[in-house]
Structures are given as structure tokens and as C-alpha cells.
Structure 1
Amino acid sequence: MEPKRSNARKPTVIRKSIVARKERAARESVFPDLRNSGLLARALILYVAGVAAYSVATTPTLSEFPLSMATSLALSLPIASVVGMFWIAANRLLRKLAYWQAGTLLLLFGVAMAFALALWLGAAPWRGVALTALGIGATLAYFHTLGRALSPAVTEARLQALQARIRPHFLFNAINGVLGVLRYEPKRAENALEDLAELFRALMRDTKELRPLHDEVVLTRQYLDLEKLRLGDRLSVSWKLDKMPSDALVPALILQPIAENAVYHGIEPSNLPGSIEIEIYRLRSTVTINVRNPFVEHAGNHHGGNKMAMSNIKERLALHFDAEAQMHAGPRDGQWLVQILLPYRPTSKNNDNASAL
């Protein structure tokens, strides 16, 4: 008789799975990236507000407030500057740790700097240490609360992305385009089906992470090749990529939906041939993406679907880059221009693809 297999290891496996999920959940609260100008501005405002609140609380009369504020700033500014520089320099390390671990490390560093500065000046260390601990603690608590508040927005943005990714008209048009050349150009139809499969594979990927700009361009080329199959000479595409930083990290599916809107709103409503121009370049620390297409002023409801894709892209840009990214859309010189400005973040083996918060 075959002995029964023991199930003793199953609880261990389940416990390990639960622990792993908890660790992943803890790491979902990503440590703030102070290189982001929007977060840096918030941190500076919090710092000044914290010093002002401390001065008000420790000043017996209003007339003494300016002197108390100046003294508190003089004591805390060097420490705040050193802590800020450490925060930026150790960004990769801090964002690999759980939020509480990174916060504890930053707090200990700040308190140590405050204590060392007080000893060097021959002053009582309690004031500088208290200011530092309160300032860092309040800042970390604010960013943690902000990150938790944004997490539903991330989920909602991902759901909107799923809804906006596949438009039924594109699927039907792509299949009809393939069927149109299947009999006469079977090789071209085969290549088109491969592009379609790759396109839908990319559309089904998780859009939470940042991806190299080169990958987004390849995906958009595949999409436009499929549209050319259907529209023929009515669609031409001009690419200006001489100064494009291929290694720049951008939100997934940032370019293809704009190209799809350009086809849907700029090419399809007109019987005349039209051109889409896609220009991408880097100027210092800013990456610029320009997409131009013919502007059909009286397209009626044809422009109605433009809002969802554009608002979705704007929301994801804000979630990833905060105030550092901008997006503009509108008529210019007889064409419709969509322009995206975002910070240049190169791809690297150790690069953190998470959002600013």
C-alpha cells in the first residue's frame, strides 16, 4: 500500500506566499523621488511651514517671532540641505527599501547630522535634533499620505487605459485591411498579421511601468503600418527622430494612442491624402514629442473620442512625473498639434521605473 503523502509543507508554502504578498504590498508605497521638481517644491514648502510652526509654538510674544524664525532657519537650513542632498544621492537605495526602512534611515541620518552640528557649534543639541526629527517625520508622513491617496488614481488610470486601448473600429479596420491584400499579396498580409499580434500583445501589457522610448516608437510604427495597409495613399507618415533619445524612459502607450487619434480625427474624416508628422527630440534635460496631423475643423462627433485618450495620457504623465511633465493639444498653423514635454530619464540596469510617488 502506497504511503500517504504528507501535506505538512503546504502551510509553509502558504505562509511564504502570504509573507511575499505582504512584502510586495509594503514596497508598493514607493519612497518619494526628490529629483522631481514638483516633489522638491512640496518638500521646501513643508520645511518652511514646519519651521514657522515651530517658531510660533516656542515664541512667547509675537514681537519675538521674526528673531525666533531666523534662528530656527539658521539652525535647520544646513541640516535640511545636507539631508536633501543625501536623499537625492541615495535615491536608488532608498527606493529599493520598504517605505518605513527608507524613512528610518533618512531620519537617523538627519538626527546624526543635527547632533554633530550642535556639538561642533558648542550648542545644546536638543533644539536642532527636535527640529530635524519633526521636519523629516512630517515630510515623510505627508508624502506617504499623498502616495496612498494617489494609489486609487493609479488603479483608475490603469482601468481607463484598458478601456481606451482597443477601439473596436481599429480591430475591424485592421482585419479588413489584411483581408484586402491577402489574395494578391499574401506575404504582406502575413507580415501585417504579425504586426497586429505584436501590437495587441503590447496593448495587453501592464502600463504601470516606464519603458524605453524606442519601444514606443517601434509599437507606433507597427500600428501606422497597419493603417497604411487600409488607407493606402491617403495616409503618409513623416518621422523626425534624428535627435531622439532612444533610451529615455516614458509611460507605456504614450505615443500609439496619439497616432491613433491623428489617424481617426485627421485622416479618416477627409477624402484627401493627409500626412502625420511625428517629431521627437531632446533639448538638455527635456524630451519633446510633437505629433501633427491635418486639422478637420468640422468633423462633428468624430472628435468626441479624443478626450478619453488625451485625459488618460495626461493623468499617467502626472502620476509618473508630477509637475515635470506637460501636455498640450490644439490647432496650430492649420494643423492639429499634440505636444508632450517630459523630463529625460535614461534607461539603465539600476534605474527605478516606478513613479515619483
Structure 2
Amino acid sequence: MSIRQNPAPTRLPDFGNLGVMLRCLLGVNLLALFAALARNTALARLPEELVELAALVEPPLIASVALLYAAGRPLARLPYAAALAAVMLASAALAALFMALFTPPGLPPPSPLRAALWAAAAAAAVLLYFDLRHRAFSPALTEARLMALTARIRPHFLFNSLNAVLGVIRSDPRRAEQALEELSDLFRVLMAENKQLVTLGEEIALCRQYLDLEHLRLGERLRVAWDIEGCPADAQVPPLMLQPLLENAVYHGIEPCTEPATVTIRAERAGEEIRIVLSNPYHGENAHHAGNRMALDNIRERLMLFYDLEARLDTEAQEGLFRATIRLPYRRGGST
């Protein structure tokens, strides 16, 4: 299916992101490697040439990355052209300053002007890479949202929920009406574009509605334990991050049980990190395990698209318990 999408606005990368910093370091070092290969015809001298280049490149490079990390928010407020010029000028100034003040022992004094020009060119090349990467990943984000929507809502959930509502219409019409409202709210959120982060409080409210519907169907077989007091409700998370995990927990952990079983949700803040752990009974490999893996891979991809390398989803199964752990940076509601 072809997806038409307006091109994303050009902007600087988030220099506070671990993945961005690592790519900056790797990109400039690759440029230095190519420069060493281009200027050196004797392969025997290549290791020595690389060591000399590293002694010249690494100090201003690390200083530039640290400066961009500190100035990330002010730079984000500038127009792209002005921010690009500021990054290039800062990189050039730091390179010239280091070359003028700190010459590695045993090496001829480098030209500060030449170092500044090389630093500005390297900064422009790295920013061009990030711009192209951002443009390439924008359609992928939409594609991932549609894939996540398809994987998240299984037909059996819709049919079972409607059958559960039909089962209580006569005996408890008020509860049936409430269940239909919850189902409507759930699908309204699922059908939205979900481009922006939401608060953890909103995500948990949606999960409670989903679990209410499943409890209507499964009755006392489904028990839920919440431990979320240690996590701020204003923490920003990707939309529909927990609901697919809860659906997996119900589908793979609770439905096969003949006795009451518990799904546990724990959330806490540890420094500048949010940690969310979902656990449910584990019954080993089964015919539906491939669908479980697909949903988990889908969530991992969405975390990568929202946070790059700063968030991850880990899973483990042991002693009859399946556990999914999400770690992501703590961002307050309304923060950029």
C-alpha cells in the first residue's frame, strides 16, 4: 500500500540523543579514515597516519559534541539555515582553537584555518546525513503506525468483546452501555494518527478501559495488579505502547488458564529513566507465538523511531512467567 505524506520539516537532530551523538562520532571518524586513505599511498603507514589523525580530530570532535549537547535547546529554536550555520561555525571555531593551543607532541603544527575549514565541512556532511535520514524515516514512521494498528487489534478481540456485551445486555444493561462506550473510546484512539507522544496517565487510562472489556469477557479468570505509584503520570510515552503488551498478556497468558491468573503492571522512575514491567503467566511455545513475536518486534520498531537508541523493550520467560520490560527516557508532558 502506498502512503502519501507531506515531507517532514527540515530540522536539526536531537543532540541530546545517545544515538545521534554516537553517529556524529562515527561519521566524523569515517571521514577521517577516508581522508587518511586518500592522502596515503603506502598501506604500511596507514596505521600511523590514523593515529596521527585521531590525535588531531578526537579532542575538538568530543568538545563539539559536548557543546552541541549543551546548546541543543537554543539551537532547536533557530531556523534551520541559522542553526546549520551556527553548528558549522562552532565546529570550525573549536577546531581552530584546539589546533592553535594544543599541538600533539611529535606532529608538525597544523594550520588553524585549514582545521576550521575541515571541521566546517565535516559538520555540514554529518548534518546532511541526518537530514537525509530524517526524510527517509518520516514515511517509515507512518508505515510503522499502520503496521502496529494491524497487529494490535485482532479480530477475535472485537468479536469477543461484542459477544461479551451481548451477554450482559439483559442482565446488566448499564454495564453493557458502559462497555460499549469503553469499546468506542478504545477504537477512537486506535484509529487516530498517533503522531505525538502522550502522557503515561492517558496511556494507563486507555489500558484500564481495555482491561475492563477483557474482564467482562473473562470474569474472575483475569486479575490485574497495578503498581504505578512511583511513576509520574506526566511522563511522555508513545501512544498505544502498553495496550498491545496487555493484549498479548491476556491472549497468551490468561486465556489458556483454567484458574484465575494475574497480569501485573509496574511502572517507576529511576533518575531520568522510566521503567515499565508487565508480567503474565507463561505456557511455553504455542501456535500463536509467532503473532506474539510480531507484536513485540512492532513495539521495538516504534520505540526506535520515537527514541532512537534511548529506549528499548526486553523480554524474558522463566519459571512460568513472561516478563516484558520497557525502558525509555523521562520526558515531562509539554517538554520538547
- TM-score for both structures, normalised by structure 2: 0.84
Report matched runs for 1:23-102 at 5 Å: 25=7, 27=9, 29-57=10-38, 72-73=53-54, 75-96=56-77, 99-102=80-83
Contact 1:50 1:135 in 2 (8 A): yes
Query: Structure 1: where are the runs of 5+ without partners?
Result: 1-21, 353-357
- In the alignment, structure 1 residue 168 sits paired with structure 2 residue 155: yes
Contact residue 294 and residue 334 of structure 1 kept, 8 A? yes
Deviation by residue 1:176-233 (Cα, 9 ceiling, x = unmatched): 2222222232332232222222211111222332221221111111100111111111
Residue range with higher mean Cα deviation, 322-331 or 220-229: 322-331
Q: CA, structure 1 residues 62+170, in 2 after alignment: closer, same or farther (shift >3 Å)?
A: closer
* SS, match of residue 253 in structure 1: coil
Matched residue, 2:229: 242
Q: For the residues of structure 2 that align with 1:177 and 1:86, how far apart are their CA atoms?
A: 58
- For residue 255 of structure 1, report the CA deviation from its aligned partner: 0.1
> Counterpart in 2 of 1:103?
84
Give me the whole-angstrom Cα distance separating, in 1, the residues matched to 2:77 and 2:153.
34
1:1-357 paired onto structure 2 within 5 Å: 25=7, 27=9, 29-57=10-38, 72-73=53-54, 75-96=56-77, 99-115=80-96, 124-297=111-284, 300-347=286-333, 349=334, 351-352=335-336
CA distance in 2, matches of 1:230, 1:66: 67
Report the more deviating stretch, 213-222 or 158-167. Answer: 158-167
2:106 matched to which residue of 1? none
Hey, what's the Cα distance between the residues in 2 that align with 1:65 and 1:297? 53
RMSD: 2.9
Between the aligned partners of 1:120 and 1:220, the Cα distance in structure 2 is: 58
Query: Which consecutive unaligned segments of at least 5 residues does structure 2 have?
Result: 103-108
Contact 2:12–2:76 (CA under 8 A) maintained in structure 1: yes
RCO comparison, higher one (Cα < 8 Å, 6+): 1
Q: Which residue identity does 2:319 align to in structure 1? A: D
The whole-number CA distance in structure 2 between the counterparts of 1:116 and 1:304 is 56
Structure 1 SS opposite 2:314: strand
Contact 1:276 1:292 in 2 (8 A): yes
Cα gap change, 1:240 to 1:56, in 2 (>3 Å): same
Assess if the C-alpha contact under 8 Å between 1:203 and 1:253 holds in 2: yes
Q: Do the aligned residues in 2 keep the contact of 1:76 with 1:128 (CA within 8 Å)?
A: no
The percentage of aligned residue pairs carrying the same residue is 42
Displacement of 1:99: 4.7
- Residues 300-342 of structure 1: CA distance to partner in whole angstroms, max 9, x if unpaired? 4233421332121011011122222222223222111122222
Query: Structure 1 residues 44, 198: CA separation in 2 closer, same or farther (over 3 Å shift)?
Result: same
The answer on whether the counterparts of 2:303 and 2:311 sit within 8 Å (CA) in structure 1 is yes
Q: Structure 2 CA distance, aligned partners of 1:308 and 1:67? A: 48
What is aligned with 1:9? Answer: none
Question: Could you give the per-residue CA deviations for residues 129-159 of structure 1, whole angstroms, max 9, x where no partner exists?
Answer: 1221122122112222332333343232122
- Indicate the SS of the match to 1:205: coil
Aligned length: 326
- Alpha-carbon separation, structure 1, partners of 2:207 and 2:75: 35
Contact 1:238 1:277 in 2 (8 A): yes
Asked if structure 1 preserves the Cα contact closer than 8 Å seen for 2:24 and 2:65, the reply is: no
